[in-house]
A and B are shown apart, each in its own frame.
Chain A
């Protein structure tokens, strides 16, 4: 896909189990969306209009987790028809907030919540896209940002590997000049184990990062759990810090399990 290609690359945006927030990262691009539309051929993007879910494409962006029997079959079809597949957002890369049902008795919830539980077809687990098919690139975040999406599109248009940033949120927080909320106010910020990408949005507003971009590289969850304990969090509270948007990301799940196990000792 060179920048001078006479044929515009074909792009699809698919949705699985999700809130649609990551698709909004495209729609919120404003003027950049028009530029993007002039450089690629958006053949399927239900939020924006075009509908051709079965089209063969160069790049498929996939939002959402695999959560229903229908999802299982559909992701295989999309993979077979896409040259490059990019999973976008917490649901697609870790199973998302709905992954909290993994390991719980979700059938009993369904029975209690819905008048017609027989109408609900849910898999026992909510799983990331990469559990089912090969994924070429993952964008973390809940939701992903326009900058991330554009970065990937741009790199693919230029024929280079997208630039990954697995550093901690702290690196962005410090570049912005925000005083550390954990140090200055003693609140249990997840920034030191969470992947950058948001620009330290929450610490910039004086609150703690809650890990919506998932685990960073070399995330030392043991060390952060120990610091949370020193700040006065009990083991349940520590477990909950890791059991949020990306509860099924292995590093966060293990940290939560470890905290709960310590509480049961």
Chain B
């Protein structure tokens, strides 16, 4: 948050490299935005590597294009296909190994999670909200996932306020953005000359102290706050409410499920880019010598046929039931499991749907409430 009650400093643009150096000095490897295959991806940053500047992410249903930001800012791109999820919930990993000894006895060994100290530069408010939901799932008391926990504990998060939302963004309506409110080590708001910076943790404060920065002026803090308000007001898509549980569960036989099933590819792209989806499948991967095996986990999707397999039958045999499962779990079932909706309004499922299905438009068609703000 950017207000006068917290200690807020100003980081001129030409000292951004100094911030990254201070983070590295703390032992973190920096992961940040890089352009790959026409999109912003979060990737390890080499020490000599600067952050991309002057890029915007123009997004529409089924479409993502990088464009130019006239103000040459570092963070005018709203988001890319992934942010934090692959860094904590690995797309593929080994959970444990088993070996057969010469006497035939089996020996089990837990796989050690690969968990480097990582600082992620350019995390958005929606990403932080999604991380809190992933935490609620993977770090549930008594059932915590050691692999997730090990990687999560090593994260240093540098959040950025979204000043240029994409056309697919609707975090203002889910209450999760565009200004980061919690869960960061450092939060930045980018202005024309640099960044208003606030620390959200002891680790964040320790990094800032190394930089000896001047306090942000009330005008700079005010500009950051107004910029956040303007970004929220600029969003055109929305969900009609934060708790649609009963509304949706009363519409399980709505004809819209058939309409969307005709357009849906059941490719699972929405679930893969969704920062809160956590479903996975596990399988045994035996070595060819017949003496050992590893137990593998990988991202799975409720859009796949095997995901609905129960003993003797399939609970979701067609695309209609799979799409319905996804949407109603996200916006209804999540309330029962986690006390809130599973949607943080990042809009990735809209942009990265190869068929261009608009999640907010589907919800509007199902609930009868408009998906765009009235003029």
**Chain A interface (Cβ < 8 Å from any Cβ of B):** 3, 32, 35-36, 39, 150, 153-154, 157-158, 163, 166-168, 170-171, 174-186, 189, 191-193, 206, 217-218, 220, 222-224, 226-227, 230
Contacts and interface: CB of A to CB of B under 8 A. Distances in A.
Interface in B221-276: 262-269, 272-273
22 contacts: A39-B289, A153-B288, A158-B290, A167-B304, A170-B265, A170-B267, A170-B269, A171-B272, A171-B299, A171-B301, A174-B299, A175-B91, A177-B86, A179-B81, A183-B352, A183-B353, A184-B37, A184-B64, A220-B264, A224-B355, A227-B356, A230-B356
A220 B319 contact: yes
Nearest to A218: B266
Q: Chain B: interface residue count, which band?
A: 35 or more
B105 to A, nearest CB: 14
Nearest to B66: A184
Given A179-B38, A182-B354, A174 B269 contact: yes
Contact of A227 (B62, B80, B351, B352): B62
Contacts of A185: 37-38
Contact of A154 (B63, B92, B288): B288
A131 to B, nearest CB: 24
Given A178-B37, A192-B269, 7 more contacts: A154-B290, A167-B305, A170-B265, A180-B354, A184-B65, A189-B354, A193-B265
Contact of B305 (A150, A154, A158, A166): A166
Interface string B18-38: 000000000000000000111
A191 B38 CA distance: 18
A174 B299 CA distance: 9
A218 B263 CA distance: 12
Contact of A170 (B289, B305, B354): B354
A177 B269 CA distance: 11
A186 B63 contact: yes
A157 B283 CA distance: 17
A184 B41 CA distance: 12
Contacts of A177: 41, 82, 86, 91
Contacts of B268: 167-168, 170-171, 174
B39 interface: yes
B337 interface: no
Contacts of B82: 177
A227 B289 contact: no
B298 interface: yes
Interface of B: 36-39, 41, 62-65, 80-82, 86, 91-92, 262-269, 272-273, 283, 286, 288-290, 298-301, 304-306, 318-319, 351-356
Chain A interface helix/strand/loop/mixed = helix
Contact of A192 (B41, B262, B265): B265
A75 B9 CA distance: 77
A32 B300 CA distance: 28
Nearest to B300: A171
Contacts of A186: 63
Given A185-B38, A189-B354, A227-B355, A168 B265 contact: yes
Given A36-B288, A163-B283, A183-B351, A175 B265 contact: no
B114 to A, nearest CB: 15
Nearest to A154: B286
B80 to A, nearest CB: 7
Contacts of A227: 62, 354-356
Contacts of B41: 177, 179
Contact of B299 (A36, A175, A178, A192): A175
Contact of A157 (B272, B290, B306, B318): B290
